[in-house]
Amino acid sequence: MLGFLQGFSYGLFLTSLVWLMLGVIRPELGDPATPPRRWAVIVRYAFVAPSLAVFLWLTSLWGGFSPSLGGWLAGLVGIAVEVPMERRWRGWLARRRQNREAQQRSAEAARRQASERQETGVQTLDPEHPPADADDLVLSLCRAKQALLEVNRSDHAPQADRLYSRYRHVLGVLGNRFEVGELAYERARGLVTQVCLGAIDNLTAMAYQASGISGVDAAYVKRRLARDGANLTVEERIALKRRLALVEDTERQLRQLAARNEAALTALDDAAVAVARLRTDKPQASLAAEQACAELKRFVEGAERYERSR
**Cβ atoms of residues 189 and 288 within 8 Å:** no
Could you give the angle at the alpha carbon of 39 between the alpha carbons of 227 and 27, nearest 5°?
95
Q: Where are the domains of the chain?
A: 2-101, 119-277
User: In angstroms, rounded to a whole number, what is the distance separating the alpha carbons of residues 217 and 227?
Assistant: 16
Quick: pLDDT tens for 47-98.
888 888 888 777 777 655 677 777 778 878 888 888 888 888 888 888 888 8
The closest of 32, 42, 129 to 82, measured between CA atoms, is: 32
CA dihedral sign of residues 14, 20, 25, 29: positive
- In the chain, pLDDT over 70 holds for what percent of residues? 85
User: In angstroms, rounded to a whole number, what is the distance separating the alpha carbons of residues 228 and 232?
Assistant: 6
Quick: pLDDT tens for 133-149.
889 999 999 999 999 99
The closest of 122, 154, 126 to 268, measured between CA atoms, is: 122
* 266 burial via Cβ count (<10 Å: 0-12, 13-18, 19+): exposed
